[in-house]
């Protein structure tokens, strides 16, 4: 591990990098060599007290769950209101760990990372699954000396990993808090993922994934931006888009909503690697927590880990019925996050998520 970390030292929000000790075996066969995992921690680990909490980000998030913008962090932490001294994930008593996901592009090994031959993985990057992402996180936990998490918490793709942690490693998870996701991807989610992947892979800049070593700007930025536009509509509610933008146009005649989508498209294309977007999107579209376990209902019914499920009432991408299904199969409480923001509500309604986590983890 690089950095000056040792147990008992609080290096709040400083990104560090762990090198996994051996190849990471993949669910679909083969193995990834030399995997690096970027992560940040807050608080002090007390392994005997079992005070470690794993916080898992969604598709385009990163290890910077909390803290100000700064070098390596273009923006404030994505759950900044929730993590810190006196906050619901109270780092005076908890040790909070947030890794960047396997396949990502913010420090953890992914398609843009270099292989041993000095060339980016690019098109040689294998198909990975949610299970592979969790396997990398479990290897990180081993390196950090964390045998069992007091809680594993995540939303959207982070929720898929929290679910996979609980079902795949029940002895290592005291409680799972799963937000805004389902147990198995649905037809609509798969369809939306498929067209986003198509937007990128049909961009002439894609070059079968081998664009990283080409000139800056030669990659599939246009396809990536189109993918984000499509996704952004699905992340918000119809009602919110109507209230905010209606059919209003700008001085140049462009629809306000199209301008909003353009803004998010350009912003993401600047900060995110298209190869990672494709890899992570594929992992989500093939999500099935029951794969190899007799189906998701069997897997969830057999899972001994206590869950808390929560969904956003206006989420049309991962609607509440998906969280209700998991809650019913596991006999767990189901919480409602009220928001007009749709799926993105799990990133925006932090007061409600704080209340939920306070109920689960106790007062700070």
Ligand X SMILES: N[C@@H](CCO)C(=O)O
Q: Which residues are annotated as part of the binding site?
A: 228, 344
Interaction of residue 58 with ligand X, rule CB under 6 A: yes
Give the total residue count for the chain.
364
Chain residue whose CB lies nearest ligand X: 156
| Residue 307 binds ligand X, judged by CB under 6 A | no
Encode burial over 343-353: b for 16+ CB neighbours within 10 A, e otherwise: bbbbbebbebb
Scanning residues 257 to 296, which ones bind ligand ACO (CB under 6 A)? 259-260, 263, 267
284, 59 Cβ separation under 8 angstroms: yes
* Burial readout 227-260 (b: 16 or more C-beta within 10 A, e: otherwise): bbbbbbbbbbbeebbeeebeeeeeeeeeeebeeb
* Residue 59 found at the interface with ligand X (CB under 6 A): yes
Among 129, 58, 90, 133, which residue's Cα sits nearest to residue 312? 58
Give the nearer residue to ligand X in terms of CB position, either 61 or 223: 61
Where does the chain show beta strands of DSSP type E? 16-19, 24-25, 31-32, 36-42, 52-56, 83-84, 89-90, 95-99, 151-155, 176-179, 307-312, 334-337
Give whichever of 75 and 242 is closer to ligand ACO, judged by the CB atom.
75
Among 36-44, 54-62, 119-127, 274-282, the segment contacting ligand X (CB under 6 A): 54-62
In whole angstroms, the minimum distance from the beta carbon of 15 to ligand ACO comes to 13
The yes or no reply on residue 210 touching ligand ACO (CB under 6 A) is no
Which residues make Cβ contacts (< 8 Å) with residue 31, sequence separation at least 6? 23, 24, 25
Instruction: Give CA–CA dist 348/153, Å, rounded.
Output: 16
SS3 195: helix
**Sheet of 16-19: strands edge to edge?**
16-19, 36-42, 95-99, 52-56, 151-155, 176-179, 307-312, 334-337
Within 30-69, the residues that bind ligand ACO by CB under 6 A are 57-58, 60-62
Q: Which two tokens stand for residue 160?
A: 């898929």
Q: Is 313 a catalytic residue?
A: no
Residues 224-263 that bind ligand ACO (CB under 6 A): 256, 259-260, 263
Indicate whether 344 belongs to the interface with ligand ACO (CB under 6 A): yes
Q: Which of 28, 75, 85, 145 binds ligand ACO (CB under 6 A)?
A: 75
Among 132, 288, 344, 349, binds ligand X (CB under 6 A): 344
Question: Is the Cβ of residue 34 or residue 240 nearer to ligand X in the bound state?
Answer: 240
Site for ligand ACO in 324-343 (CB under 6 A): 341
Q: Please confirm, yes or no, whether 156 is among the known catalytic residues.
A: yes
48 is catalytic: no
User: Could you give the CA distance from residue 326 to residue 340 in angstroms, rounded to a whole number?
Assistant: 23
Catalytic residue (one of 62, 221, 315, 325): 315
Q: How far apart are CA 96 and CA 109, in angstroms?
A: 21
Pick between residue 46 and residue 81 the one whose CB is nearest to ligand ACO: 81
Cβ 58 to ligand X shortest distance, Å: 4
Question: Which residue of this chain has its Cβ atom nearest to ligand ACO in the complex?
Answer: 61
Could you say which of ligand X, ligand ACO, none residue 294 binds, taking C-beta under 5 to 8 angstroms by partner kind?
none
Q: Residues annotated in the binding site for substrate, as ranges?
A: 228, 344
Q: How far is CA 157 from CA 74, 133, 262, 284, in A?
A: 21, 10, 24, 7
156 binds, among ligand X, ligand ACO, none (CB under 5 to 8 A by kind): ligand X
* Footprint on this chain of ligand X (rule: CB under 6 A): 58-61, 156, 235, 344
* Footprint on this chain of ligand ACO (rule: CB under 6 A): 57-58, 60-62, 74-75, 78, 256, 259-260, 263, 267, 341, 344, 347-348
What is the set of active-site residues? 156, 315, 343
């Amino acid at each position: 591990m690089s950095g000056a970390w040792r147990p008992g030292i609080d290096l709040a929000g400083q990104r560090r990098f762990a090198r996994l000790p051996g190849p990471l075996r993949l669910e679909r066969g083969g193995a990834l060599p030399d995997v690096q995992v970027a992560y940040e921690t807050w608080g002090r680990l007390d392994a005997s007290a079992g005070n470690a909490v794993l916080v898992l980000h969604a598709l385009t998030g990163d290890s910077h769950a909390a803290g100000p913008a700064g070098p390596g962090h273009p923006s404030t932490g994505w759950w900044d209101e929730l993590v810190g001294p006196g906050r619901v994930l109270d780092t005076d008593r908890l040790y909070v760990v947030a890794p960047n996901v396997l396949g990502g592009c913010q420090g953890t090994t992914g398609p843009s990372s270099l292989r041993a031959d000095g060339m980016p993985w690019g098109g040689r990057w294998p198909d990975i699954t949610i299970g592979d992402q969790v396997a990398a996180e479990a290897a990180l936990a081993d390196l950090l000396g964390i045998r069992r998490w007091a809680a594993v918490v995540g939303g959207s793709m982070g929720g898929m990993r929290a679910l996979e942690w609980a079902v795949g490693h029940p002895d290592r998870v005291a409680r799972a808090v799963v937000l805004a996701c389902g147990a198995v991807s649905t037809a609509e989610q798969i369809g939306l993922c498929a067209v986003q992947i198509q937007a990128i892979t049909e961009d002439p800049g894609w070059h079968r994934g081998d664009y990283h070593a080409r000139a800056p700007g030669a990659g599939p930025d246009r396809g990536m931006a189109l993918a984000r536009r499509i996704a952004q509509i699905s992340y918000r509610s119809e009602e919110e888009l109507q209230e905010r933008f209606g059919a209003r146009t700008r001085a140049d005649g462009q629809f306000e909503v199209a301008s909003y989508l353009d803004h998010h498209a350009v912003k993401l294309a600047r900060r995110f690697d298209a190869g990672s977007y494709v890899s992570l999107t594929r992992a989500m579209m093939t999500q099935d927590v029951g794969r190899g376990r007799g189906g998701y209902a069997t897997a969830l019914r057999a899972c001994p880990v206590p869950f808390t499920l929560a969904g956003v009432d206006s989420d049309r991408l991962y609607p509440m019925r998906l969280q209700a299904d998991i809650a019913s199969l596991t006999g767990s409480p189901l919480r409602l996050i009220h928001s007009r923001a749709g799926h993105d509500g799990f990133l925006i309604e932090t007061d409600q998520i704080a209340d939920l986590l306070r109920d689960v983890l106790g007062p700070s």
